[in-house]
Amino acid sequence: MRKLFFMVGLALLSGCGYHLKSAVKLDSAYNKTHIQHAITAALYRPLAVALSNQGVNLVEKASDATAQIVISKDSLRKQIQSIGANNRVQEYRLDYEVVFSVQFLDQIAIPEQTLTLSRDYAFDIGQIAGAQGEEQVLRQQMYEDMAQNIIRAIANQSAVE
């Protein structure tokens, strides 16, 4: 009986269109890629890890690279989202904007594109340590999400050409 339920559940799951997220296929021109961005920037490491997970070999020198990802703007801003009746902040919003382009040797493969992310979070002055921790977690998640968005944008642009 358990086998029957398992088989029916498996058939329903496979029929609904659900698929595991697979690696994005990047063009072979990205085999040796250089990231032109400050190595100390918060986005650098998540982007480097995400590219490595796609099978891309990162090189330190731009002259050794077949492709170069140029990050020309990397901006994370914190704004007040709402204020309560007691004139205290209740919510903040994190807005993250990245402008990037891709070059193959000396030609522009992908012109500058702007990607944005936004996240809201509640703030309670009575739990300030927890709110600061939540903000740090949100920031890290935004850097990781942005790295994935950059890779998807590159893959989508490559597929169009």
Domain range holding 104? Answer: 26-160
Query: pLDDT for 138-160, tens place per residue?
Result: 999 999 999 999 999 999 887 65
Establish if 55 belongs to a structural domain. yes
CA distance 77 to 28: 35
Establish if 21 belongs to a structural domain. no
Of residues 64 and 87, the one with the higher pLDDT is 64
Backbone angles phi, psi at 156, to 5 degrees: -65, -40
Taking only Cα atoms into account, the Rg of the chain, rounded to an integer number of angstroms, comes to: 21
* The Cα angle at residue 5 between residues 14 and 13, in degrees rounded to 5: 15
Average pLDDT over residues 117-139: 77
- CATH number for the domain spanning 36: value is 3.30.160.150
CA distance to 40, 49, 92, 111, 140, per residue, from 132 (Å): 21, 25, 11, 36, 13
Average pLDDT of the chain is: 84
Is the pLDDT at 135 greater than 60? The verdict is yes
Of residues 29 and 103, the one with the higher pLDDT is 103
Name the H helices within the chain.
2-15, 44-53, 128-160
> What's the structural domain count of the chain?
1
Is the pLDDT at 4 greater than 70? The verdict is no
